[in-house]
A and B are shown apart, each in its own frame.
Chain A
Amino acid sequence: MSKEKLIDVKNLATYFHTEEGTVKAVDGVSFEIYPGETLGVVGESGCGKSVTSLSIMRLIESPPGKIETGEIIFDNKDLTKSTQKEMRKIRGNDISMIFQEPMTSLNPVYTVGDQIMEAILIHKDVNKKQARQESIDMLTKVGIPLPEQRVDEYPHQLSGGMRQRVMIAMALSCDPQLLIADEPTTALDVTIQAQILELMNGLKDQFGMAIMMITHDLGVIAEVSDRVAVMYAGKIVEYTDVETLYANPKHPYTWGLMHSIPHIEKDVDRLQAIPGSVPNPLDFPQGCKYNTRCPFATDKCREVEPEIEEIEESHQVACWHVDKLEEAKAKEKKEKEKE
């Protein structure tokens, strides 16, 4: 499908220059999002997924952060070169964002309605009365009952799930083309989680927007994504559509993640976690950053870092030893069949 890309990120690198050293939070990341689709970005904490999204929004605190290289092409403009004034027209308007902690992401001293109206009044040419009506409409759309009442309430008067809905209402109030959702359900109960995801999906169709869903939860990825980028230590290590990822993961990290999910059919004594931990960003290992935990690591892995390459159509992986993983997968399959 040759659609127009909504947003095209090319080789984005964002570093943080701290007193202890330079943290290469995002180190050469490229991906695209097409209109109307959901791109899932998955990885452990500290892999750089949030920094990527904040870089797109140009909300990186600078100093100490800085977008070192790369391009973010949106609407025929390179966002890395836009002024803050230009970015403000885009934020909340063309690209919106919602965050992980609904409890603290809303300003406690202003009403819910106030905060929704704020975005509307900035970006749309309406008066206060109209803006208020639109806020009430948005609240209805996100499934909040008695919106005329709720609109004058304060955030602390709503539950976590409600607040997240308000965040969504706020984000969608100006009809954005892209919604960046940074771990939107992580802080919520499982049942609420499902509701919110359902809501987001529904609104996506309604509003015809794209979603960049950032999460560490593979279940969420499976639920909502069309395509997925797996990040590790500031880089994308695997990039493909969601079915392929689950059916045929090609990067040892992805494979490791899949294995660490408990399956309802399987009966295991111990969960198979990936040994070791994410390396210290001030002290990344030389070569492939996954080499400290990868079962297939070789000397080459420890010396030279693999570039991400397309190994089959619409499937990119950054690994020297894809074949070794295939071997391991084949072995596993045989053992399963034996049982």
Chain B
Amino acid sequence: MINYIIRRLLILPVILFGVSVLVFAMLMLVGPYQRLSTYIKSPAELKTANLDSLVEKYGLNDPFHQQYGRWISGVLKGDFGWSETAGATVTEAVLQRFPATLELALLALIPVIMGGINLGVFSAVHHNDPWDHVTRVFSIVGWSIPTFVFGLVVLMIFYGVLGWFPPGRLSVWASDIIRSSEFVQYTHLNIIDGLLNANLKVVGDAIRHLVAPVFSISILWWAYILRITRSSMLETLRKDYIRTARSKGVKERVVVKKHARKNALIPVVTVAGHMVLGLLGGLVITETIFGYQGLGQFFASAASQLDYAAVLGLALYFGFLLILINLCVDVSYAIIDPRIRLE
């Protein structure tokens, strides 16, 4: 298995290279004046801007390999270019937003995985009971409600009416604290940093701002994982080896948890992989509604404003994540199911 992992990791740069060429080619389809719009943001700036010399200056009309060559040579030195939309280098921009996205993702995973899988198993075991129907309805509703509706409703109720969970990542006073010299930002994940600095107020404030967005995100994935787990469990419970286990006198609870669940998890792992990828890629709508500066918003505005340095950098980030997560999923399969052998 180690060999397999190493091989997959070695191919990583090749794939990323391919992705970058593809994305770059797509960006090149857009004319040079259009790409100039990243720098010229409004008609007022047209007065003193000589567009043709700007195109020259940024090399927007150079042949593909030259433009690509410039970019890739920068990348190999660790320089991903300057992002106009973020007003910072691409590296800085991504690193700045990554902790926020990571924090949301990690916290969303907890209810999703624990709640989704457990409820899915529960639902399958209580197949066609009233409880099963309740969880199925919940699952369909959760999956169908558009995030922007749900997020706004959550915000309106829990902030607008109750005032409990405000938008944004931290209150102003907490921001002051973490920026001060007494506070060390080890990870830029506010909850962890708060704990490491033994400042419970900051931890509390961070949690308070995270509850609503985490809740909005997790409902959707929770519902999905629940459905997948449920149907996978139902199928697994029909298998012959379950009958065998029962015939040995194994307790039903053990049959479900030990014999059925492990087998049922394989399709769930696949979905979980997608979910992690989606979460770490950032969630535009949730971030917009809750005023969270994360990768999703960045990705969306970079794309719509043709901020090509950022788009390329983010494409690489995403490609990297995708490959890594797929690798983890494959390895998980091999761990769960001994029949799967990774050569």
Direct contact between the two chains A and B in their complex (CB within 8 A): yes
**Is A122 a contact of B339 with CB atoms below 8 Å?**
no
Task: Give chain A residues whose Cβ lies under 8 Å from the Cβ of B243.
Answer: 59, 99, 105
The number of chain B residues touching the other chain, given as a range, is 20 to 34
**Is B247 a contact of A91 with CB atoms below 8 Å?**
yes
Q: Name which of B81-89, B212-220, B248-256 contacts chain A.
A: B248-256
Task: Give chain A residues whose Cβ lies under 8 Å from the Cβ of B263.
Answer: 107-109
Complex: how many Å from CA A71 to CA B336?
Answer: 43
Q: How far is the CB of A319 from chain B (nearest CB, A)?
A: 35
**Is B339 a contact of A57 with CB atoms below 8 Å?**
no
Task: Give chain B residues whose Cβ lies under 8 Å from the Cβ of A72.
Answer: none
Chain B window 236-272, contacts with chain A (Cβ cutoff 8 Å), 1 for yes, 0 for no = 0001110111111111100000010011000000000
Q: How far is the CB of B76 from chain A (nearest CB, A)?
A: 44
Q: How far is the CB of B73 from chain A (nearest CB, A)?
A: 49
Whether a CB of chain A sits under 8 angstroms from the CB of B235 is no
Chain A window 66-108, contacts with chain B (Cβ cutoff 8 Å), 1 for yes, 0 for no = 0000000000000000001001111111001101010011111
Closest chain A residue to B246 by CB distance? A59
Task: Give chain A residues whose Cβ lies under 8 Å from the Cβ of B337.
Answer: 108-109
**Is B241 a contact of A106 with CB atoms below 8 Å?**
yes
Task: Give chain B residues whose Cβ lies under 8 Å from the Cβ of A93.
Answer: 249
**Is B250 a contact of A156 with CB atoms below 8 Å?**
no
**Is A99 a contact of B339 with CB atoms below 8 Å?**
no
**A156 touches which one: B248, B259, B339 (CB < 8 A)?**
B339
Whether a CB of chain A sits under 8 angstroms from the CB of B338 is yes
Q: How far is the CB of A134 from chain B (nearest CB, A)?
A: 14
Closest chain B residue to A102 by CB distance? B240
**Is B249 a contact of A122 with CB atoms below 8 Å?**
yes
**B240 touches which one: A105, A110, A122 (CB < 8 A)?**
A105
Task: Give chain B residues whose Cβ lies under 8 Å from the Cβ of A92.
Answer: 247-250
Whether a CB of chain B sits under 8 angstroms from the CB of A170 is yes
**Is A170 a contact of B248 with CB atoms below 8 Å?**
yes
**Is B247 a contact of A59 with CB atoms below 8 Å?**
yes
Task: Give chain A residues whose Cβ lies under 8 Å from the Cβ of B250.
Answer: 88, 92, 118-119, 122
Task: Give chain A residues whose Cβ lies under 8 Å from the Cβ of B262.
Answer: 109
**Is A105 a contact of B246 with CB atoms below 8 Å?**
no
Q: How far is the CB of B138 from chain A (nearest CB, A)?
A: 24
Q: How far is the CB of B261 from chain A (nearest CB, A)?
A: 10
Closest chain A residue to B128 by CB distance? A63
**Is A101 a contact of B240 with CB atoms below 8 Å?**
yes
Given contacts A57-B247, A123-B249, A170-B248, contact A154 B339 (CB under 8 A): yes
8 examples of A-B residue contacts, CB within 8 angstroms: A84-B252, A106-B244, A108-B338, A109-B337, A110-B259, A119-B249, A122-B250, A154-B338
Q: Which A residues are closer than 8 A to B by beta carbons?
A: 57, 59, 84, 87-93, 96-97, 99, 101, 104-110, 118-119, 122-123, 154, 156, 167, 170
Given contacts A99-B240, A119-B250, A154-B339, 11 further A-B contacts (CB under 8 A): A57-B247, A90-B249, A92-B247, A93-B249, A104-B240, A104-B241, A105-B241, A106-B241, A107-B241, A109-B263, A118-B245
